[in-house]
Amino acid sequence: MKKQRPVNLDLNTIKFPPSAISSILHRVTGVAMFFALLFVIWAWAVSLGSEQGFNDVQAIMDGFIGKFVALGTVSALTYHILGGIRHGIMDMGYWEELESGNLSANIIIGIWIVLTLILGVALW
Amino acid sequence: MVTNQASMKRNGIQDWVSLRATALIIALYSFYIAFVFFTAPTLTYPIWQGIFASMFMKVFTFAALVSIMLHVRIGLWQVLTDYVKPAGLRAGIQYVLNLIAFAYVAVGLFVLWGV
């Protein structure tokens, strides 16, 4: 192997474009929700099973862990829906150019952060 | 038409349409649940059970769960084909994940049955 190959490890010069970040977030939130459903469906099933179960789940949801999981799950769902809407608009032929694609990615990431903050404040 | 081991009698167009059709149902269900949480008075057990006792809610919830199973089948396949290259390992992971997705639907069915 040649030793003198060009390398670019100056991390300040390497950056994902917003559209790439949006794509990765869509995947991460999707996979995260799949596993979050383990908790969501368990909590749903127990809370509907009996009054005792309902009270147990309510106690968990009032605690830090419950709120943290709820915030994470709803936040992931929020991003996934926003990303899905963006995909739907791209299916119709809009936001497919470099500039509009990156702009729409930045906008949904912005909306997502704002909605997550509002949700966090509402939960606590 | 190209036949590959991942298609299993599906094709790209079918996946494309299924992904969006199921996404619509899941999104509508999410909005409806959010609406229920925002408008419901302080949740008590009778109120919570009443929400899922109606036939409309049972059908909507079951449709959402089936949609999640189909959506996840396509979505997780898309992610796994990109990151897990050995075919056997990927098939194994997909087998387990799709089984979990089916379990979500089955649990949902029996819970709704009992409400």
The ipTM value here is 0.88
Whether residue A9 is predicted with pLDDT greater than 80 in this model: the reply is no
Which residues from B are below 8 Å from A30, CB to CB?
75-76, 79
CATH number for domain A19-123, candidates 1.20.1300.10, 3.30.460.10, 3.10.560.10, 2.160.10.10: 1.20.1300.10
Of B45, B68, B107, the CB nearest to A45: B107
DSSP A97: S
Residue A1: predicted pLDDT: 62
Whether the per-residue pLDDT at B4 is higher than 60: the answer is no
Lowest mean pLDDT among A13-22, A93-102, A112-121: A13-22
The pLDDT value recorded for residue B1 is: 47
8 Å CB contact of A84 and B49: no
Q: Which residue from B minimizes the CA distance to A56?
A: B45
Integer Cα distance of A34 and A37 in angstroms: 5
Nearest CA in chain A to B16: A91
Residue B75: exposure state from Cβ atoms within 10 A (0-12, 13-18, ≥19): buried
> Chains A, B: CB contacts under 8 A, how many?
41
Q: Which residues of A touch B20 (CB under 8 A)?
A: 88, 91
What are the structure tokens assigned to A77, written together? 């769902």
pLDDT of residue B108: 97
Asked if residue B15 lies in contact with residue B74, where contact means CB atoms within 8 angstroms, the answer is yes
Gap from A80 CA to chain B (nearest CA, Å)? 10
B104 touches chain A (CB under 8 A): yes
Segment A42-76, tens digit of pLDDT: 999 999 999 999 999 999 999 999 999 999 999 99
Provide the whole-model pTM.
Answer: 0.88
The CATH classification number of B12-114 equals: 1.20.1300.10
